[in-house]
A and B are shown apart, each in its own frame.
Chain A
Amino acid sequence: MKDLDPFVFLMVFQEMLGPVLWILVALALFGLIGFAVVFLREGKMDSRRLVRSELIGVVGGVAALVLAAKFTVSGFTDAGGPVDWLLVGLIWGVGLAGTTILAYAVQGLLPCRRCG
C-alpha cells in the first residue's frame, strides 16, 4: 500500500462500487455542468436556493455514509481511530458537497418558479 496512482485509485473505486461508480460519476458531471449552466445564465448565486440545496446536501452526506457502509461490508461504526473519523467526515463532506451542487443545478434547471 505504498502508492496509489490515479489509475489504481479509479480501479479501487470500481472494485468498491461496481456499476454504481459510473452512476455517481454521471451524477457528478451532470451536477457540475448543470451548476455551471445555471450560474452563467443567472450571473449570480441565488442564496435561498443555495441554502435549500445545502439542507438537501446534509441528507446526501448521510446517504454517502450509508453507501460507504454497504460497499465496504462494514461501516463508520467500525471506526477505531482518528483517521477513521477523518474518513467518515470526508465521505460525509463529499456526499454533502456533491448533493448540494446537484440539488442547486436541478432546481435552477427545472422550470419551477417556487424553486427559486
Chain B
Amino acid sequence: MMNSQFDGRLGRRDLLRLLGAGGVAAGTGLMLPKQGQAATQIAGKGAKIVIAGAGAAGLSMASRLAQRLDGATITIIDGRKAHYYQPGFTLVAGGIKSKDYVTSTTAEYLPKSVSWIEEAVAEFDPEGNKVVTASGKAVPYDYLVVATGMKLDYAAIEGMDMNRIGQDGLGSIYASPDAAHATWGAMSKFVEAGGVGLFGRPNTEMKCAGAPLKYTFITEDRLRRAGNRGKAEIVYAANNKALFSVPIVAEKVRMLFKDRGVKTHYDHVQTGIDLGRKVAIYNTPNGPTEIKYDFINVIPPMRAPDAVRNSSLRWQEGGFAADGWMEVDKATLRHKRFANVFGVGDIAGVPKGKTAASVKWQVPVAADHLVADIAGTKSDAVYNGYTSCPLITQLGRAMLVEFDYNNDLVPSFPGVVAPLEELWITWVMKTMALKPTYLTMLRGQA
C-alpha cells in the first residue's frame, strides 16, 4: 500500500469538506420555506363560484379553490384557448427566448373538477349575481372572482397599426407572442443599422412597469455587443417625472441610464405615431411634440376590459375610475360594494403591481377570504402589495426589485441578493427560475 497515514487523513478531510460544499448547494434551495400548501379541504356546500378570466390569476384561483373546497361548483369563463406566459414576452422580444417559450394552452392547467365555458364575458351584473357571456348565456353565481386582465388600447394611439408590428422599425412587445417575436426582428435590424431607438411607457396603469425599462437596457446592450453602440442613440420618453413609481428604484434607473448613455425625456405621453414618417407624437406640458425614430417599442395605454368598465364593478371615483379598474379593497381584494365579488390580477384597482408576482400573492389572500365566507368563518389574510420586478439591466445581469404598497423595498433574500445591485444570480432567476415557479402557481402548488 502506498498511502501514508498523513495522505489518508488529508484526503478524507478534503473529501468530507467537498461533500459538505455540495450539501450546502442542494440545501439552500430545499431548506427555503414552502409556502401556500393546500389547506385541508372544507365542504363547498354546493356554492356556485364563477371565475371570469383564465389567465394567470384566473387559473391560479381555480386551482386553489378546487384544492380547498369539496363540493363547490367552480366555473371558469374565457374564450381564449392559448395561455401566454407574459413575463417571457420581453425575453422573446429581446432575442433571449423563442416564441414557443411563452405559449401553452389553458386546458393543461385547468383542474378536472372545474368546468370551462369557452366564451368571453360580455356583461357583469353584480346586483343580479350573474354574468352574461358573449353568446348571451347567463351564468348565475354565489361568489364571483373577476380575473379578466386588461385591455391593450392600441386604438388610443392615433396612426397605430398592429398589423405592421415588425415592419419599418415598429415594435410592440405586449400584443402577442407573435408581436414580441416580430419586435425582436425589428430590433435586430436596428442593432445592425443604428439610428434612434425610442422607448417609453403609457400614462395609465400598466403590466409590469419594469418591462419598458428592461427592453431599453436589452436593446442598448445588443447594440454594444454588436459593436454598433456608436451608431445609435437611445431615447427614453417617460410619461411623467419619474422613471419608476418606487422613488429609490427610479433613482437607480436614472443613474444606470446615465451610465449607459440613454437620453431621457420626462412628461411625454404618446398620443400618436406616423408609421410612414417614422415619428412618434407626444403630449407634453409645452404642447404636442414629435420624436423621430428608427426603432420604437410602442406600449399602448392599458385599461379595464369593456365588460368591467361598463359595469358597476368599476371604481366610481378617484384615480382608478377613468380607466375602469375594479373597486376592490387593497388588502383583501374583496369588492368594496359587492361582498361576494373578488378581483385579482391586472383588473384589480389597487396601487401597485400588475405582475405575475402580484397574482402569486393576491390569489391566496382572496381565496382564503372566499373559502372563509363559505365555511362561515373569518380570514385575517392580508395582501401588502408585494410585487416583484427582475429588472434586466444588460444581457447576463438583472436587479431583483421587490416592493409593496408603501414603496418599501421588501427583498426576498435580504443580505444575500441585494435589490439594487446588477447581479448574474438575478438574471438566472429571471430567465430560468421564474417560469417553473409561475407554472406551479397556475397549478396551485406554490
Contact = CB atoms under 8 A, between A and B. Distances in A.
A7 B30 CA distance: 9
Contacts of B424: 72, 74-76, 78-80, 84, 87
A1 B388 contact: yes
Contacts of A98: 22
Interface stretch (B32-40, B225-233, B240-248): B32-40
A98 B96 CA distance: 30
Given A47-B7, A47-B10, A97-B22, A1 B396 contact: no
A4 B361 CA distance: 14
A97 B18 contact: yes
Nearest to A89: B21
A113 interface: no
Contact of B423 (A15, A47, A75, A83): A83
Interface residue tally of chain A, by bracket? 35 or more
A2 interface: yes
B151 interface: no
Nearest to A28: B22
Interface in A1-43: 1-9, 11-12, 14-16
Contacts of B118: none
A78 B396 contact: yes
Nearest to B1: A46
Contacts of A76: 424
Interface residues of B, number: 59
Contacts of A8: 433, 436-437, 440, 445-446
Contact of B436 (A11, A46, A74): A11
A41 B139 CA distance: 71
Of the candidates A5, A54, A116, the one having the most CB atoms from chain B within 10 angstroms of its own CB is: A5
Contact of A47 (B8, B400, B413, B437): B8
A18 B107 CA distance: 23
Contact of B3 (A2, A46, A57, A90): A46
Interface in B398-412: 400, 402, 412
12 contacts: A1-B388, A1-B400, A2-B361, A5-B446, A6-B29, A48-B3, A50-B15, A71-B432, A79-B424, A83-B423, A94-B22, A94-B25
Given A1-B400, A3-B34, A83-B417, 10 more contacts: A2-B412, A3-B446, A8-B446, A11-B436, A12-B432, A15-B436, A47-B10, A50-B12, A71-B432, A72-B431
Interface of B: 2-4, 7-8, 10-12, 14-15, 18-19, 21-22, 24-25, 29-30, 32-36, 96, 357, 361, 386, 388, 390, 394-397, 400, 402, 412-413, 416-418, 421-425, 427-429, 431-437, 439-440, 445-446
Closest 9 CB pairs of A and B: A78-B396, A47-B7, A11-B436, A74-B396, A47-B3, A50-B11, A97-B18, A93-B21, A5-B34
